[in-house]
Amino acid sequence: MHILEIPSFFTPYGGEFCLEQAKALKALGHEVRILSNVQLGITIGGKDFLVLPSCRFEHERDGITIYQSYQRGLPRMVHHNVMRWVNIVCSMFTEYVAKYGKPDILHAHCAKWAGYAAMIISREYGIPYVITEHLPKLILEPELGPAPSTAWQVPLLKEAYHEAAQVITVSDELVAELADYFGHDFCHVTISNVVDTDFYAFKKRQPLDGRPFVFCCPAVFNHRKGYDVLFKAFALLAKVCPETELHIAGRGTDSKDCRKLMRFYGLKGNVTCHGALDAEGMKRLYYQSDALVLATRNESQGLVIAEAMSTGIPAISTQGVPKSMQLDAGFRYVPVGDAEALMKEMQKAVGRPVTEEEGRHLAELVERRFAPSVIGAQIAEVMTGTWPRS
C-alpha cells in the first residue's frame, strides 16, 4: 500500500508517534511518507516562530521522507488559523500527488485537525482515510469547553469521525471520552502506539551500593501531568528515604514555574530538571534510572511507561493511565491525586529494586505488546480492510 501519514502536530511540538508508526509500516514493505504542516506560536516557541523555514521543503528522518511546512499562527484567531492550516495541508497534498501519485490511504493522527483535512481530501480524491486518535478529554476541554459542547469545532470533528473508514484509538478509555463530545457514530478499534524496543533496549543497571535510587518522570510540565502531586510525594519520600533522586524531563520542566513549585514543596538538590530531551536524551535518562514515576491526572495512553519498562525498570503511576498500560508485572498504580499513596509505592520500589532477571522480563513483556512489528501489522490489517473502499 501507498500510505500518507498526516499528523495534526509534529516536531518541534511532539508527534513522534506518527514517525514511529510510519517506520513500522515501511518496515513491513509499504510505501510510506509524512505530510506535515506545523502551526508555530509566537508565545509557545518564539525562536522557532522566527527561525524555522517559511517555504515548503522535503527532508528525511530515520528513512522516512517528510514533506514539511511551518505555518505562523495569528494570536487569538483560532478559526482563521484552523481553516488556514487545513487549506495548506490540502494544497500540499495536491503537490504531493503531482510528485508521488495518489496514495491508497490517508492516515491522520488526531481528528483535530489532520482528520478533518483528510476528510476534505477524501471527498475530492475518493481516497479512504483512517484516524488514529491520541488526544484525551483534558486536552480537548480548554478549546472545546466541557462536554457536551456547542463549540464550532464539534460538528466539524464529528463529520471527520463519521466519514473515516476506521478510527483507531490508543486506548479503550479514549472511546468513552470521545463519545462525550462526538457520540458513538463511527467505526473504531483500539491499537497502541509503537515502542521502539530495539532503541529502548534492556540494559543492566549499576548496583545500588554507594549510589542513590533514581526515579525519573518524563512528562511535560503542566497541571494534567500532576507535578504538584509528584513533588509532594517525593518530599514525603525524602524524609524516610533520603538517598533518592528525582529526575524530571519534558517541556517546561526547567522553567521558573516548575522551580517555584519545587521550592513550595521544599525540594532542592535531590531533584534534577532536564527540560525537553530528544530520544537519545530520554534513553540516557531511562538507563540512569531505577524506576519511572508518573503522577498524571489523565493519559490517552502513557507510552513512556512502556518505554521505561522496555529498558528494564518498573513504573509507578496513577489510575489516570489506561488499563491497557497497566502490565501484569513491574507496574504499580495509585488513585489520582493521592500523594501519600504515591509516596508509599515509591518507598516500596526503593526497598525492593527489580533484579536483572525481572528487568529482562519487563522488556520481553513490552516487546510482545508494543514492538514496531506487532503494532505495524495491526495498523496495516486495519488499513487493508478499508482499502479499496467498497
Give 259-274 pLDDT, tens digit per residue. 999 999 999 889 999 9
Q: If we measure between CA atoms, which residue out of 112, 117, 124 comes closest to residue 78? A: 112
Q: Is pLDDT at 285 greater than 80 in this prediction?
A: yes
Percent of the chain beyond pLDDT 70? Answer: 97
Can you give the pLDDT at residue 390? 33
Q: Which residues, in sequence order, are CB contacts of 303 under 8 Å at separation 6+?
A: 17, 192, 193, 195, 325, 370
320-332 pLDDT, tens digit per residue, is 998 877 777 778 8
pLDDT averaged over the chain?
93
Q: Quote the cell numbers at residue 327.
A: 502490565
Q: What is the pTM of this model?
A: 0.87
Q: Is pLDDT at 173 greater than 90 in this prediction?
A: no
What is d(CA 324, CA 302) in angstroms, rounded to the nearest whole number? 10
34-81 pLDDT, tens digit per residue, is 999 998 887 666 677 777 878 899 999 999 999 999 988 888 899 999
Say which CATH topology domain 2-194+371-386 has: Rossmann fold (3.40.50)
CATH of domain 213-370: 3.40.50.2000
Q: Is pLDDT at 155 greater than 50 in this prediction?
A: yes
Can you give the pLDDT at residue 46? 66
The domains spanning 2-194+371-386 and 213-370 adopt the same CATH topology: yes
What is d(CA 338, CA 288) in angstroms, rounded to the nearest whole number? 27
- Tally of residues, the chain: 390
Q: If we measure between CA atoms, which residue out of 113, 218, 119 comes closest to residue 159? A: 119
Q: Is pLDDT at 26 greater than 70 in this prediction?
A: yes
- For residues 302 and 151, which has the higher predicted lDDT (pLDDT)? 151
- For residues 60 and 13, which has the higher predicted lDDT (pLDDT)? 60
Can you give the pLDDT at residue 324? 77
Packing angle of the helix pair 78-100, 116-125 (nearest 10 deg): 40
Sequence-ordered strand ranges (E) for the chain: 2-7, 31-40, 57-61, 64-72, 105-109, 129-133, 166-169, 188-190, 213-218, 244-249, 271-273, 291-293, 315-318, 331-334
What is d(CA 338, CA 306) in angstroms, rounded to the nearest whole number? 23
Q: If we measure between CA atoms, which residue out of 259, 268, 325, 263 comes closest to residue 292? A: 325
Can you give the pLDDT at residue 52? 81
Give residue limits of the domains in the chain: 2-194+371-386, 213-370
What is d(CA 366, CA 197) in angstroms, rounded to the nearest whole number? 8
Residue 38 phi, psi dihedral angles, 5° rounding: -105, 125
Can you give the pLDDT at residue 387? 53
Can you give the pLDDT at residue 389? 44
Per the CB < 8 A criterion, the answer to whether 64 and 19 are in contact is yes
- For residues 251 and 47, which has the higher predicted lDDT (pLDDT)? 251
Q: Between β-strands 244-249 and 213-218, what pairing exists: parallel, antiparallel or unpaired? A: parallel
Q: If we measure between CA atoms, which residue out of 199, 196, 354, 371 comes closest to residue 284? A: 199
